[in-house]
Structure 1
Amino acid sequence: MIGGLAALGVLGTGAARASDPVAHSTLTPDEALQLLKVGNDAYVTEAPFRAAWGRERRVELARGQAPFCVLVGCSDSRVPPELLFGRGLGELFIIRNAGNTIDTTALGSVEYGVGVLGCPLVVVLGHENCGAVAAAVEVVERNATFPGVIGEMVQPIIPAVLSVRGGGSEGLLDRAVRANARRVAGRLKTQSPILQQALAAGRLKVVAARYDLDDGDVAWMEDV
């Protein structure tokens, strides 16, 4: 699929391909989002579902991938995207790090998912009691410091914490989780020419969301 980058002017015409190109998802942005909503509803109610995980699907995907959603999520072990959305192999193009933030590598990965793989949907998924966001709250509220590069890692989250600090300390963490997801989604919409082009053409939707650890429900924030 690397050859697809040449079409974007990212690589030269002689660039090698990692696999044969396959047709992109035919889903519209709204259809892609609806699939995730239905999948999460099934997860919450523990309804049976059949995701494509078997050998036949593995063989099919060996020829190339055509996911329908780029998902920027947290590394937290309690937030497995395929499970909580009821999806199978090859359906979600996932970028995960503590605090679901966007650095250069993550942004390039999102742009690859949209510009090369043709994903019609980008979801930025925060979650209840996020440790990275909690660390950013500690920095803001108590001037906390952390070992190694953890402090640097949470720096991009601090503006989100500051933006909702006026509501008082009670509930600050959850407000910051939501604000951080919305802020990252907003940055994707305004700072990536590749995403802006797809958005302008109606081929892409970018939304933020928040996952509840207790009940498994995903709350959507589509007005980013």
Structure 2
Amino acid sequence: MTFSQVSRATGISRFSVRAWTTDITPSPSKTAQCPVRDGQPVPTLSRPDYAYLLGLYLGDGCISEGRRGVHALRIACGDAWPGLIEACARAVAAVMPQNKVQRVRAGGYTSVVSTSKHWPCLFPQHGPGPKHLRRIALAPWQQRIADEHPWELLRGLVHSDGCRITNWTTRTVAGSRKRYEYPRYFFTNTSTDIIRVFTDTLDAVGVEWKATKRAAGAVNVSVARRASVALMDEHIGPKH
């Protein structure tokens, strides 16, 4: 019988009948399984990559709903730091390995984008409106990952809404003016909850910090003490 005759006799699509003549093994489903089940992350979830991606999401990420319950995760990365774009794409691919990762160019930045029905499961902080206008709190399982991989979370936060800069000052030594340079880290956000996630994690790893309020409700956290900057340099370093 022809493929069409078999299709009409059985009610099975002609495409499936033709495919079975060459491969009778069912193709594995390409639909990603939910990485969070019964309120716990699955053992296969890459926890260091997730901690880093969580920091990026809290800083410069958003989740938008599309058709049929599919959500798009978007992380905006400045084009001035191509290494950051690649690190973000690797983290997204590691956390959701069955889904494609795209790079969407815009004016001065690139959005790293991946679609899945399960991004809201991984980031329960998702909700309507800007993050600074709603409560942001880590779920217990997220906090455990943050406790296990605090430097990865801090690295994601600094790579999104932070920076490492070199300050300088001058002093008079033996009658002549000399210039001194010293590095420091900054993290700025308008969400007091996200600021608290950042500073609590700094406390957990022994980094000293100071916070000052800026215009439009933003809070600026600075790390300037030499020992703390050295710790940040060891685990984070400047964006590239």
TM-score (norm 2): 0.27
Query: Could you say which structure has the greater relative contact order, defined with CA pairs below 8 angstroms and 6 or more residues apart?
Result: 1
Structure with the largest fraction of strand: 2
TM-score (norm 1): 0.29
